[in-house]
Amino acid sequence: MRRLLDLRHELKLTTRHVRLMAASLEVTERTVRRWLAAAEHDEAAAEDPGARAQSRDRFSVTPEVRRLLALWKGNVAAVHRELTARAARGEGGPPPSIPTLHRAIHRDLTPGERAGLAGGERAARKHDVFLARPRGWRNQVWETDHVQVPVLVDVNGKPRRSWITWFTDCATNAITGVAVTPVHPSRESVLAALRSAVLREDPYGPFGGLPPKVRVDRGKDFLSRTVTAALDLLDVLVEDLPAYTPHLKGTVEGLNRAVEPMLLAALPGYTRQPHPGKRPSRPKDEVLLSFEDSTARLLDWTRWWNTEHRPEPLRGRTPLQAWQDDPTPLRDVPAADLWTFTLEDAGTRTLTTRGVRFRSRDYVGPWMTGQTGIQVRIRFMPHHDHRIEVYHAATGRYLGPADLADQATEEQLRAVRKARASRTRRLKKDLEASQRERYAAVNQPAAPQRLGALTTAQAEAELAQTAGTDLSNLALPDLIPPAAPPADWRTPPSLATRTAPGRPAPLPSRSVPDGSPGRAADPAEDGDAS
């Protein structure tokens, strides 16, 4: 537009110039001439031709409107009602119309800001631009994460949602290791997945070895002392990513998103809501998969992902082909050493005739015969308290496993769990009944009226019973005040008032002339003697 203005001022502007400008901007010649006329009188029109002229009284989004949008989750109609109500109370000027408010929001706020005010930070991140890391080489960096499976499976007769813990290679998109837990995962799940990821022998496949670095997202299981110690022994650096930055470990996050539509959505017991706001409906005669069957299907899908699936970043190759095409040497660890490194250390014990004492329980093994009296080191898998691994304390040589002595049978464990569950339900019911408060129903605006009348005698009896069981109320530290200090002591007035008047402090014991200990002299006796 500035070039056309210069040509007009030099009297060199022709119809050909206007026609070329209209063709390049895909507008009519009349529109270009109108923009040119506006640019001669307004500098802003020359900078942004075709832009709507801004009036001084045009409504724009204020900080108060932004706060209301965040409060009402992006609902413009609710924001308009709030502005109208405030104007009626005299707390602001006249509100804009709903179309004006819509135009101002779309003009003054970016799509990311609008999404963030409506759905939070996670929704706003969908409109951000992220840089892609270089592919690197195999085993350069791994990423790991937990993900809960939105599928109900049969775990000992109860429907539960299992968890997946897996490690992925960022260069080849290969799933190097995976572990499935029927309930909430723990550091034991991480160690099991780590062992399957490092080992390259059957049935884990060609993927594995030791990576120089593993990325985690501040999960307490991945940063536990046991896991970090195991990775330190394996010379693997743990990179703890900042909070709320899933894009920094995009490989494993992409895997978490891919497994649901590719596998989980077609399984029986899928619990994800088909539409927001609607409760998922399950057929009454639906038969859930057992935990074993669901784990087998997941492992089959994992093998398909590694050997047949062709992710777009690999440009037509499977993760297996990308792995085999990479000549980077691998660092392997023997299976026996890996098992030792991925166990939690419990210190040293003495092997006695009753076995090894660990957590107030005895563990025995057939290899212990004739070995009592030696110092051993205990290592164990977290939460697997039925067995421990025993090593020689001085040489570190593996001696063998030790099982829990006098272990309860499965029937006994089932009875104990049933008794504990019954006790928990009974206690919860009693607590709810004792703490439940009832209020009178009203059909007119009124203050809430608590129901449940007590007589004075009933209230005093209940309070007396409570006081009789409260040890803090039974304690009487000031019942007998301390004796008064000696007269030659400099006692603060605030402490002197707390002592018992007329009770002098006892004097230290002294010895009688014959050397035998005697009691302290009584002032009254001294007075009689004098």
CA 517 to chain centroid:
69
For CA atoms 242, 244, 245, 251, give the dihedral sign. Answer: positive
Supply the angle between the helices 98-108 and 63-71 in degrees, to the nearest 10: 100
Of 46-60, 261-275, 447-461, 481-495, which range is least confident?
A: 46-60
Q: What is the pLDDT of residue 438?
A: 59
Range 59-81 average pLDDT: 91
Kind and range of the H or E element at 141?
strand 141-155
Superfamily (CATH) of domain 141-275+284-325: Ribonuclease H-like superfamily/Ribonuclease H (3.30.420.10)
Q: Determine whether 420 is exposed, middle or buried from the number of CB atoms within 10 Å of its CB (0-12, 13-18, 19+).
A: exposed
Report pLDDT digits (tens) over 493-522. Answer: 777 766 666 555 555 544 444 444 444 444
Report pLDDT digits (tens) over 152-174. Answer: 999 888 899 999 999 999 999 99
Indicate the domain borders of the chain.
Answer: 2-47, 63-125, 141-275+284-325, 343-404
Regarding predicted confidence, which is higher, 403 or 54?
A: 403
Rounded-to-integer distance, Cα 399 and Cα 390, Å: 6
Rounded-to-integer distance, Cα 192 and Cα 179, Å: 6
Q: What is the pLDDT of residue 461?
A: 77
Output DSSP code: residue 137: -
Rounded-to-integer distance, Cα 340 and Cα 400, Å: 12
Rounded-to-integer distance, Cα 256 and Cα 33, Å: 56
Range 434-454 average pLDDT: 65
Range 115-141 average pLDDT: 88
pLDDT-derived band at 139, boundaries 50, 70, 90:
very high
Dig out the tokens for 227 from the structure: 């896991």
Range 467-488 average pLDDT: 66
Q: What is the pLDDT of residue 129?
A: 84
Of 57-71, 450-464, 472-486, 510-524, which range is least confident?
A: 510-524
* Whether pLDDT at 435 is above 90: no
Output DSSP code: residue 247: G
Q: What is the pLDDT of residue 178?
A: 92
Q: What is the pLDDT of residue 251?
A: 92
CA count, 13 A, side-chain hemisphere, 321: 10
Regarding predicted confidence, which is higher, 303 or 497?
A: 303
**pTM of the shown model:** 0.64
The count of residues in the chain is: 530
**Right CATH number for 343-404 from 1.10.3110, 1.20.1690, 3.40.1440, 2.30.30?**
2.30.30
Q: What is the pLDDT of residue 507?
A: 53
Q: What is the pLDDT of residue 22?
A: 87
Of 139, 166, 162, the residue nearest 222 (C-alpha) = 166
Q: What is the pLDDT of residue 17?
A: 87
* Whether pLDDT at 282 is above 50: yes
Of 116-125, 196-205, 304-313, 462-471, which range is least confident?
A: 462-471
Dig out the tokens for 401 from the structure: 């496993």
Report pLDDT digits (tens) over 228-240. Answer: 999 998 999 999 9
Of 96-110, 341-355, 429-443, which range is least confident?
A: 429-443
pLDDT-derived band at 529, boundaries 50, 70, 90:
very low
* Whether pLDDT at 285 is above 80: no
Report pLDDT digits (tens) over 252-277. Answer: 999 999 999 999 999 998 887 655 55
Contact assessment for residue 425 and residue 418, using Cβ atoms and an 8 Å cutoff: no
Q: What is the largest CA-CA distance in the chain?
A: 138
At residue 296, the 3 state secondary structure works out as helix
Percentage of the chain lying above the pLDDT 90 cut: 35
pLDDT-derived band at 432, boundaries 50, 70, 90:
confident
Give one DSSP letter per residue of 298-348, joined into a string: HHHHHHHHHHT---GGGTT--HHHHHHH---------HHHHHHHTSEEEEE
Rounded-to-integer distance, Cα 327 and Cα 322, Å: 10
